Structure 1
């Protein structure tokens, strides 16, 4: 089964052959051919403006008609007539931009939702919000997932996978983009070395194309955030690995 653009290319190629049969200069046969071809182009592209432009340009002669058909082929091959994606579909580049922004600005959500003074006419009380605390990575995962799921409803949590001799669970998994988000939350008794070992193991065993390590460094065990991120932002075995670290100024 051919695609619509393949059909368009075949028709235009046939038109290029047909136009060679006309003598140079205007003729009654050429005028009829232009009329027929314009109607064909309108049906083929579902766009009256393409047919109208063809008629206007070819009034100058066969050379202009040939040039217009060549330009149509160039535009088709360049993807200018590809079907538009649904407005609610997010391409891969914008997907990763959104993920990156949500992760890098995670602390801003915490401030706006739980720490910023509340409006006097609201029913939420700052004292009640202060009772909410991110104690471990499960809490961080829950909050992060609540931010991502309205944007990517297909996102799932705690997704099991077969890692060979040892099974793994993806903290947050978005299958259609082959993306895993692994959440870490540091503890006072956790060392930076232990954290790097966990990340190294996950990066090696996780089979997905894109892996994000989101580290909520509540205990501030990472001594050099820039160096840590640089070390774990890499491409390894066709995996794109990115690391985002949030060190909260005010603990919640």
Structure 2
């Protein structure tokens, strides 16, 4: 079970416990929740671990009582036990969040094709920055213009996709043909790259992307258009706002805009 699945499972059990805290003791829902939680903790952390022991030792009833003990005392013991179980689950969730590493293979297997493209886009700047530091100050790729962005991003796309076609021609639009930066053939995703520069305002970037979205949707393999704007100098003042404004559906084709790195 990967990190995300473990957190979601425990969060679900915690939510069920919160509901049980307001119900009567001894219900069938409580018995099922208790067993489900025991099994989940064993699956996540392993059998006979401290995590299982901590949960198994929780008591939901009085240890000592007499015939004169009021029902309210039993009710309070039940509620206190459920509340303590919620605290234990919260601690287990925090432990996973803080100490577990992401299972990258499992994560990427679960991602859609668009999700994989987004992951590469979001990490592009870190990769570009890391390439600057090479052993013995050896030469490397410097991201100075859009061609450099294309070269590096093309290599990254090969991690997940086998059929990546650069500079694919589109059918004629408004009397002239044009080329898209990348076509991921099987997934029918077209990717257009841009790099901000001096003299290219956010408004102009937006206008170019609007024109591109209208032009590229004519391509027969365009089920989704992804626009990647690389802005290492932070020239776009409100990147999230521009992303939200330009991410839309144009004539039935989803257009998704990413501006990175996030400032």
Gap change, CA 1:248 and 1:97, over 3 Å in 2: closer
Partner of 1:114: 132
Residues 208-228 of structure 1 deviation map (CA, whole Å, 9 limit, x = unaligned): 220111011134321101101
Task: Tell me, in whole angstroms, the C-alpha distance in 1 between the residues paired with 2:237 and 2:250.
Answer: 25
Q: Give the gaps of 5 or more residues in structure 2.
A: 1-107
SS where residue 134 of structure 1 aligns?
coil
Partner of 1:214: 228
Task: Tell me, in whole angstroms, the C-alpha distance in 1 between the residues paired with 2:172 and 2:180.
Answer: 11
Partner of 1:162: 171
Alignment partner of 2:148 out of 126, 139, 159: 139
Deviation at 1:197, TM superposition (A): 1.2
SS where residue 194 of structure 2 aligns?
strand
Partner of 1:196: 206
Query: What is the number of equivalent residue pairs in this alignment?
Result: 151
Deviation at 1:96, TM superposition (A): 1.6
Gap change, CA 1:100 and 1:247, over 3 Å in 2: closer
**2:240/2:259 contact within 8 Å kept:** no
Partner of 2:184: 174
Gap change, CA 1:219 and 1:178, over 3 Å in 2: same
Q: Give the gaps of 5 or more residues in structure 1.
A: 1-89, 119-123
RMSD: 2.3
Gap change, CA 1:106 and 1:167, over 3 Å in 2: same
Partner of 1:34: none
Task: Tell me, in whole angstroms, the C-alpha distance in 1 between the residues paired with 2:201 and 2:131.
Answer: 30
Is 1:186–2:200 an aligned residue pair? Answer: no
Alignment partner of 1:239 out of 243, 253, 256: 253
Task: Tell me, in whole angstroms, the C-alpha distance in 1 between the residues paired with 2:257 and 2:199.
Answer: 22
Partner of 1:97: 115
**1:218/1:248 contact within 8 Å kept:** no
Q: Which has the larger radius of gyration?
A: 1
Task: Tell me, in whole angstroms, the C-alpha distance in 2 between the residues paired with 1:177 and 1:91.
Answer: 15
Task: Tell me, in whole angstroms, the C-alpha distance in 1 between the residues paired with 2:153 and 2:260.
Answer: 12
**1:182/1:213 contact within 8 Å kept:** yes
Residues 149-203 of structure 1 deviation map (CA, whole Å, 9 limit, x = unaligned): 2421210111111133121101011121111110000111212222111101001
Using the size of structure 2 for normalisation, the TM-score is 0.53
Task: Tell me, in whole angstroms, the C-alpha distance in 2 between the residues paired with 1:137 and 1:183.
Answer: 7
Residues 227-252 of structure 1 deviation map (CA, whole Å, 9 limit, x = unaligned): 01101111221111111111488xxx
Gap change, CA 1:236 and 1:142, over 3 Å in 2: same
Deviation at 1:113, TM superposition (A): 3.2
Task: List, as ranges, runs of 4+ consecutive aligned residues in structure 1 with deviation greater than 3 Å.
Answer: 90-93
